[in-house]
Amino acid sequence: MVSCLATPIGAKPVCNTASRRERQLSHPIRGLCVDNSTANQTGSDNRTLAILVHVSGIFFNFLAPLIVFLIKKDDGDRFTVDNAREALNFQITVTLVYFACFILSFILIGLFMFWIVGMVNLILCIVAAVKASEGKVYRYPIAIRLVK
């Protein structure tokens, strides 16, 4: 949001920054400069990225949530960072469980457990993506909280 000086009703506001684009976006009555295109997209972009973080866990395991977490953690975007952190913690947990299933596959019980872990991963990632589309941060019920 661009700050502007208060002006009388009907007069054009004078913006602190001299950009022509910002002057075109100024509100004629209140003297406010508001760029509605970025204000409306920010919320939907954050939700979309949060949804993609959860869904990408199904296909790329912990790699995509890790990348998004590292990129967004300093941007001040709390919603996306919290979703990326939750997805990253859950996918690290799933990776550890897959490793345990690999070891148990020599006893043949691990082969059955691979399918169960895969289905739980799929279902919980879909539930988390739906919650992210509603604007909520989903906490996975079975996740080791390694990344804080």
pTM of the model: 0.68
CA distance 85 to 64: 11
Contact predicate 32/25, CB 8 Å: no
Q: How far apart are alpha carbons 148 and 143 in whole angstroms?
A: 12
Cα(12)–Cα(67) distance, integer angstroms = 45
Q: Do the Cβ atoms of 13 and 4 come closer than 8 Å?
A: yes
Q: Residues 35-79: pLDDT tens digits? A: 333 333 447 888 999 999 999 999 988 899 999 999 988 887 889
Domain boundary assignment for the chain = 1-34, 43-133
